[in-house]
Chains A and B, each alone.
Chain A
Amino acid sequence: MRNNSLSVLVVDDDFINLSLLKAILGNCGHQAVLAKDGQEAVTIFSQGHIDMVLMDVMMPVMDGYEATRQIKAIAGERFVPVIFLTALNDEKALAKCVEYGGDDFLTKPYNHVILRSKIDAMARVSQLHSTIKAQRDELAYHNERILREQEVVRTVFSNIVHSGSLNEPCVKYLISPMALFNGDLLLAARQPSGTMRIMLADFTGHGLSAAVGAMPVADIFYRMTRKGFSIGDVVIEINKKLRKILPSGLFCAACLVDIDNNEKKFSVWNGGVPDVLVRGSSGGVRQRYVSRHLPLGVVNNDRLGTTVEIGEIANGDRVYLYTDGVIEAWNKQGEMFGQQRLEAYLSRGRDSSAVFDEIREGLIEFMGDQSQADDITLMEVACDDIAVPDHPGAICVTPDDVKDATESRSAAHPLVVWQSSLEMDSDTLKNFDPLPLLLHMITEIQGLEDHRENLYMILAELYSNALDHGLLGLDSSIKITPRGFSEYYMMRERMLASLRQGKIKVDLRHIPADGGGKLVIRVEDSGSGFDYRKQMLGLEENTASSGRGIALVRSLCCHVEYCGTGNIVEAMYHWQV
């Protein structure tokens, strides 16, 4: 409505009335457009810009009611006030005017002052209407744009975040974000050894602001896990990153769990996530890992504890991780789902494989149609069902073959001959995990990348034997009882911390061999060694209480040999492209 001058459609079959209204409108500075019946009014309205309509009721061809209905239909979302001009005093007839879309009435005979004020009032309403409509459209436009942008970001987000092992059959999970973006983060990946590592993270708040931190966390998690870094190293790296990028007050409660089926052990770091629960095969909470550390992104690394808790895996164990959104879910009565209710589901001794679905259904039923107050994440890992990853098979050859291969080095695909050695003293051994470095060196060789799982396993076994048994003198047989199991790792940590002397030397030698190569890994420790002849016998007779690890190395390598006093071990890995 430009310059307060309105274009007013006047509809009346009485020519005198039309002229009169035209004159009044002219005096008020408005422009009158005239129609002699409803049909003509509809035609004119649909052709041009009309701001307001003054409508008679009784007319030939089409009456005022029908014309108003059609005009309102044409106007659609645009607000065009229709004021009925009527001699009617009958309340029902007046109500009918409103029913057909009329906005006001003016009773004949006309009073100039009243007509003028009604037009002004309607003009104000109309103005308000179009302002609100414009604002609404703008909001809708921005909302639409934001949603579109978020969709794009979400695609990038899920590509980064969901690239791991969540879809393996041993994993069941429920992720229910409050908003388009999730402040909860669930990650799973395999280490080179095949160990399953899971991480549950819960950022402060919800939605996009909570989700931005998830990308670097996921990135670091996958990268370092693939390279074989320990939980402690991953925690340190993520914390460092979050300290750098998160504003104060935003942080990330997190929990990392390693499920190592070879060593039959859990390793757990919990900083701010509710108790991690292990359900035994016959029901009940068999192990519980409470939060022992501050969440990530709160303090600097020097104050962040990296101690992991170790526990033994038993047959049929299932691990449960969940965010506080699960225990703090509300029902209609204002009660929380609670820790007790959750654990009650784990205590039932029935079919283990149904537990996850029972919790999920129980939670959904509990919440009813209550809206969610937090992101909800729940995960179960069935330890028995963690598949053994497909290792590229190691091919067994005799040491004599090595000589032949060296001589035929000038073949079509000559690969490098190289050797390298790493010697670590007691101070280094305390704080440094050499496995990622060694693995990195080895897998730099083209072709060996596909063998990283096997190589990691071999390196890890040989190195931990050298450290645990060679230098620290720990006895594996302690591990056979569940209590001894965690005692073993506590003892290991204590003894390593007080280690004063000793060293471990790792030599790597690689030579090409038909289409691949042979890698000799030699690990020497400064300990006193052991009677390897006797132990080998035990292994062959299957009477040994430990030595699962070295048996694994034997299955992967074509040749494993102890030398010296048992303080040196040499393993040869033969690989082909």
Chain B
Amino acid sequence: MALSSTISSDGAIVTLAVAGRFDFNIHQDFRKAYEKHGNGVKKYVIDLKDTEYMDSSALGMLLLLRDYAGGDSSDISILNGKSELKKILAIANFNKLFNIG
């Protein structure tokens, strides 16, 4: 599967890793992946290490996750993106909403 989710042993951090294309085709899986861990989660990490491509619907999915995780009080990091992906995030100014590293 293009998407894997892991949770830390204390149940506080959920990591979602997207392999290949991060686009509309995985939106169902993506949502299920963060919803299944319930309310005890304090922080989400989106790992883009193996993500090749990302489109605007991926940005939409990230916003949905942000809403789910509490909007302005959410703590979401988007990590390991290749420079092209970081460019997409930068154009959308998502650094104002997420921790991008």
Contact of B93 among A205, A250, A272, A374 (CB under 8 A): A272
Report A298-316 residues with CB < 8 Å from chain B CB.
298-299, 303
A-B contact count (CB 8 A): 57
A248 touching B55 by the CB < 8 A rule? Answer: no
| B12 close to A (CB within 8 Å) | no
User: Could you tell me the distance in whole angstroms from the C-beta of A183 to the nearest C-beta in chain B?
Assistant: 8
From A60-68, A78-86, A190-198, A289-297, give the one contacting chain B: A289-297
Given contacts A248-B63, A248-B64, A249-B64, contact A374 B92 (CB under 8 A): no
Report B58-101 residues with CB < 8 Å from chain A CB.
59-61, 63-64, 67, 84, 88, 90-94, 96-97
| A274 close to B (CB within 8 Å) | yes
User: Could you tell me the distance in whole angstroms from the C-beta of B52 to the nearest C-beta in chain A?
Assistant: 10
B contacts with A, residue count (CB < 8 A): 19
A324 touching B96 by the CB < 8 A rule? Answer: no
Chain B hits for A272, CB < 8 A: 91-93
Chain A hits for B92, CB < 8 A: 253, 272, 291, 294-295
| A271 close to B (CB within 8 Å) | yes
B93 touching A292 by the CB < 8 A rule? Answer: yes
Chain B hits for A287, CB < 8 A: none
Docked Cα-Cα span, A256 to B67, in Å, equals 27
A273 touching B91 by the CB < 8 A rule? Answer: yes
Docked Cα-Cα span, A8 to B96, in Å, equals 75
B93 touching A294 by the CB < 8 A rule? Answer: yes
A291 touching B63 by the CB < 8 A rule? Answer: no
Chain B hits for A253, CB < 8 A: 56, 91-92
Chain A hits for B96, CB < 8 A: 294, 299, 303
Chain B hits for A294, CB < 8 A: 92-94, 96-97
| B39 close to A (CB within 8 Å) | no
Docked Cα-Cα span, A331 to B61, in Å, equals 27
| B57 close to A (CB within 8 Å) | yes
A251 touching B93 by the CB < 8 A rule? Answer: no
Chain B hits for A204, CB < 8 A: 56-57, 59-60
Chain B interface helix/strand/loop/mixed: helix
A298 touching B97 by the CB < 8 A rule? Answer: yes
| A202 close to B (CB within 8 Å) | yes
Closest residue of A by beta carbon distance from B62: A249
Report A204-263 residues with CB < 8 Å from chain B CB.
204-205, 248-251, 253
Docked Cα-Cα span, A298 to B96, in Å, equals 11
B55 touching A250 by the CB < 8 A rule? Answer: no
Report A261-275 residues with CB < 8 Å from chain B CB.
271-274
Docked Cα-Cα span, A328 to B21, in Å, equals 14
Given contacts A248-B67, A324-B88, A374-B55, contact A291 B60 (CB under 8 A): no
Contact of B63 among A202, A249, A290, A336 (CB under 8 A): A249
Docked Cα-Cα span, A292 to B56, in Å, equals 17
Chain A hits for B90, CB < 8 A: 291
A205 touching B60 by the CB < 8 A rule? Answer: yes
Specify which of B56, B84, B93, B96 lies most central, judged by the most chain A CB atoms within 10 Å of its CB. Answer: B56
Report B22-65 residues with CB < 8 Å from chain A CB.
24, 55-57, 59-61, 63-64
User: Could you tell me the distance in whole angstroms from the C-beta of A120 to the nearest C-beta in chain B?
Assistant: 42
A293 touching B56 by the CB < 8 A rule? Answer: no
Closest residue of A by beta carbon distance from B31: A249
Docked Cα-Cα span, A250 to B90, in Å, equals 18
User: Could you tell me the distance in whole angstroms from the C-beta of A253 to the nearest C-beta in chain B?
Assistant: 6
A251 touching B63 by the CB < 8 A rule? Answer: yes
Chain B hits for A324, CB < 8 A: 56, 88, 91
Task: Show 9 residue pairs from A and B whose CB-CB distance is below 8 angstroms, ordered by the A residue.
Answer: A205-B57, A249-B67, A271-B93, A272-B92, A274-B91, A294-B93, A294-B97, A298-B97, A299-B97
Listed in ascending order, the chain A residues whose CB lies under 8 Å from chain B are: 202, 204-205, 248-251, 253, 271-274, 290-295, 298-299, 303, 324, 328, 336, 373-374
Beyond A205-B56, A248-B63, 13 additional contacts (C-beta under 8 Å) are A204-B56, A204-B60, A249-B61, A249-B67, A273-B91, A291-B90, A291-B92, A291-B93, A294-B96, A299-B96, A299-B97, A303-B96, A374-B56
